[in-house]
Structure 1
């Protein structure tokens, strides 16, 4: 085969698609607007501190391993990781703390001892999560929802009879209130809605599929940091002959007689037999596909939440902190009302602190830590972000000081900020939304853009803004779905 494929964007899905298409015999060219590959899955270095810039949770590592195996390589020779003994350390204002141990029995005992929540409730909740995963993963994660065969295969048929048990008709919060006795456990499991930028009080209970990934399968950490997911796959792609062009922003997708035939980059036309768009779907239609028919219904869908991240070099080691840490708000429902209804930030936001130096010591100088300090925020709707960020930073610092009994401001040695405006400018994510369209209704899974264009032949879509959704595993699966559609 001597066919050529062009991929627009080198996010993790674009890199994965380039590998899969190269192994199918295509000559693959990838055009990337930035000077580096990876999109959100990149890194920042500041005066001896290294930070994974974007996604910080690694689940379903076999999705990465599979790409090496497809290329005939041993994954561990090129990319290695560990399973975390503690998935996350949770803190509350009243002094309560819970360590979410990877050992489910130990996690259950921890919750029972600290909160009085029966360990049996943890076990049942995770069994329910596994049940949802086993029935919905083959349908919603592994296949296109926009092909007739998806809805007539045996996996789909089995799911139709179990829709009530799968959480379609309830919200995550209502389901968790039934599963747990203690409100802190409801809050802990409601948190999983944020993994795709959703509101647990609105999103369907099917998202209770996520704890299965983190506990039953496991949460992992690449030994060289999250950025190594990008770089190891980037090197694999290059070894297969994929050509990457950096600082090469695509200006237009060329369409002739309803067929994608190439792209314009820096005023020059480049032709190919097929195109795969890894750019955010909304911004792609607004820019490089602006001459084509617009999927208005999809473009006008409510967007997911965004993030405000402070990358802090902290000149002290806090031994009580893990890789993943959560400092919960006192009123979770109000926090989400601020984000999704009022498009603002609560005065008491939940604070997430990711510290890779816990497992990768060279990410920070001696006796220091690299804090990726994040809160969930609304996507960009024209707010006065400079004022919002100043107020949020003050509230975050105060919360950390209260819960960790410290003066964190005096320990901050370096700082860089990422917020909705810069998320959009750096990653082309519409409105700075991290996960494309919101999942705050039961039909959201069906309202994601297909992995192909129904109007333009030979044009395909992958990445977090299209089916099956955002996050590293789903982005990698979107590339798999695309490659399986292509002869």
Structure 2
């Protein structure tokens, strides 16, 4: 049975779902509020510089390969991928940094220099992380979160204790060197929670980091969005940009359409890839599954203060991805999760895509992206943004032993207010709801509405969680549920 399906939003999860649904023979239309597709993954182009506004890390390449393989394609049909070496570097003080290269053997050598005997411990740690990764990919993340029984397999039962310990506990039990501890705890930030709140099982992110590596699509992450858009259109998906959705039409407990730009667009199924909390505000209160207090109690991934900076010279002593952990990690985490406030001394991350990719900046110039993780919902003003830029750029100069302030051609910022305005993001969070023990799998907001028939959700606030690869998976899961419940023979 051919269904007419309207999808709200065009982020990774919505684009992925549209491809699967169109492949199954359905009539699919995407409604996107912004001028371009991609949701949080958009581009800023200015004065010959090109910046990825959203995600800049390409991890878990196998998930992207699996997605395109479902359509008899490979990523190389759409974009060229380069494995980064070094993957990234981490600064702990002036001229004090550790470089993470592109193989586990090289990383073990770097660890051994910092802490004698740590290379053997790291091998054992990554072996366990790889085992968890295989279980996650084969047994867990491709499950729709409908039942707790989805988590119960012979393999997961053997790992049960790792769901009740934490990343912080396990890492610090194995490693004593503070720098190595911080490097191993860093990938958890992609899951949106503190290491002390993240189950040990999620150390599979360390395998994604050290085992699989860090990649860069030529011309930037937005090429992945363009690839998915091209695939969707090849499959017959209609994409309407500058079409914000103002209302989900419900009749007799069933979603029958949407209102966009004052027009009604009727459909058999409504799937929202927009912010889950915002989507429910498009419904009359009686049809909302989750109350304001429900969302208030949830642990959200951080928001971010981002700067996109054009430099008129090449930047030294940095890599494509560079992390700055020269201040207290725990104090910054406390300012995000425990006592939400602007951090006094923020950690920050910098990306210089033009080191790898000449498309990112004019010749002999550098494109720089700077990110400070923040608690969602903070007061966001231009004055605060400027104060924090001065803080991090001063530290950046000192740590990397160079002057750059006078070489800034321009800078643009993006913070809490922009996340709310551009993406209807709850409290301006940057990438969804954290993956803590009580916010995992079936304990996350549901893909299928419990109150409205024919209404579905996908994206970072639902299953399986935050990040680009999980968003691709979420799109597949939502599409599979729609097919399961509405196309069964």
TM-score tier by shorter-chain length is over 0.9
The aligned counterpart of 2:39 is 39
Q: Is 1:341 aligned to 2:338, yes or no? A: yes
Q: For 2:374, which of 374, 377, 382 is the aligned residue?
A: 377
Q: Is 1:15 aligned to 2:10, yes or no? A: no
Q: Is 1:350 aligned to 2:315, yes or no? A: no
| Conservation of the 8 A alpha-carbon contact between 2:145 and 2:443 | no
**Structure 1 residue ranges without an equivalent (≥5):** none
The aligned counterpart of 1:252 is 247
What does 1:222-261 correspond to in 2, within 5 Å? 222-261=217-256
Q: Is 1:104 aligned to 2:135, yes or no? A: no
Q: What is the deviation of 1:358?
A: 1.5
The aligned counterpart of 2:25 is 25
> In 1, Cα distance between the equivalents of 2:74 and 2:203?
33
- Report the CA distance shift for 1:189/1:151 in structure 2 as closer, same or farther (over 3 A): closer
What does 1:306-317 correspond to in 2, within 5 Å? 306-317=303-314
| Conservation of the 8 A alpha-carbon contact between 1:49 and 1:363 | yes
User: Which one is further off, 205-214 or 108-117?
Assistant: 108-117
Q: What is the deviation of 1:466?
A: 1.0
Q: What is the deviation of 1:457?
A: 1.7
What does 1:296-445 correspond to in 2, within 5 Å? 296=291, 298-300=294-296, 301-381=298-378, 383-439=379-435, 441-445=436-440
Instruction: Please report the TM-score for the alignment, with normalisation by the length of structure 1.
Output: 0.94
The root-mean-square deviation of aligned C-alpha atoms, in Å, is 1.9
| Conservation of the 8 A alpha-carbon contact between 1:47 and 1:414 | no
| Conservation of the 8 A alpha-carbon contact between 2:447 and 2:463 | yes
The aligned counterpart of 2:180 is 185
| Conservation of the 8 A alpha-carbon contact between 1:298 and 1:447 | no
For residues 236-277 of structure 1, give each alpha carbon's deviation from its aligned partner in whole angstroms, at most 9, with x where no partner exists: 111211101111111111112222111111222111111111
The aligned counterpart of 2:79 is 79
Q: What is the deviation of 1:280?
A: 0.6
Q: What is the deviation of 1:115?
A: 4.7
The aligned counterpart of 1:205 is 200
> In 2, Cα distance between the equivalents of 1:484 and 1:29?
17
> In 2, Cα distance between the equivalents of 1:7 and 1:437?
21
SS in 2 for 1:92: strand
What does 1:9-158 correspond to in 2, within 5 Å? 9-116=9-116, 118-147=118-147, 150-151=150-151, 156-158=153-155
Q: For 2:465, which of 453, 463, 469 is the aligned residue?
A: 469
Q: What is the deviation of 1:111?
A: 2.0
Q: Is 1:273 aligned to 2:255, yes or no? A: no
Q: What is the deviation of 1:36?
A: 0.6
> In 1, Cα distance between the equivalents of 2:24 and 2:77?
23
Q: What is the deviation of 1:422?
A: 0.4
| Conservation of the 8 A alpha-carbon contact between 1:102 and 1:218 | yes
Q: What is the deviation of 1:187?
A: 1.1
Q: What is the deviation of 1:435?
A: 2.6
The aligned counterpart of 1:480 is 476
Q: What is the deviation of 1:480?
A: 1.0
> In 2, Cα distance between the equivalents of 1:73 and 1:438?
32
> In 1, Cα distance between the equivalents of 2:398 and 2:316?
17
> In 1, Cα distance between the equivalents of 2:235 and 2:374?
40
> In 1, Cα distance between the equivalents of 2:202 and 2:277?
24
For residues 403-441 of structure 1, give each alpha carbon's deviation from its aligned partner in whole angstroms, at most 9, with x where no partner exists: 0112221121110001011012111211111232233x4
Q: What is the deviation of 1:114?
A: 4.1
> In 1, Cα distance between the equivalents of 2:285 and 2:326?
42
User: Which one is further off, 61-70 or 347-356?
Assistant: 61-70
Q: Is 1:262 aligned to 2:254, yes or no? A: no
SS in 1 for 2:87: strand
**Structure 2 residue ranges without an equivalent (≥5):** 484-489
| Conservation of the 8 A alpha-carbon contact between 2:159 and 2:201 | no
User: Which one is further off, 320-329 or 413-422?
Assistant: 320-329
For residues 11-49 of structure 1, give each alpha carbon's deviation from its aligned partner in whole angstroms, at most 9, with x where no partner exists: 111111111100000010000111110011111012111
Q: What is the deviation of 1:475?
A: 0.2
Instruction: Please report the TM-score for the alignment, with normalisation by the length of structure 2.
Output: 0.93
Q: What is the deviation of 1:289?
A: 5.5
SS in 2 for 1:235: helix
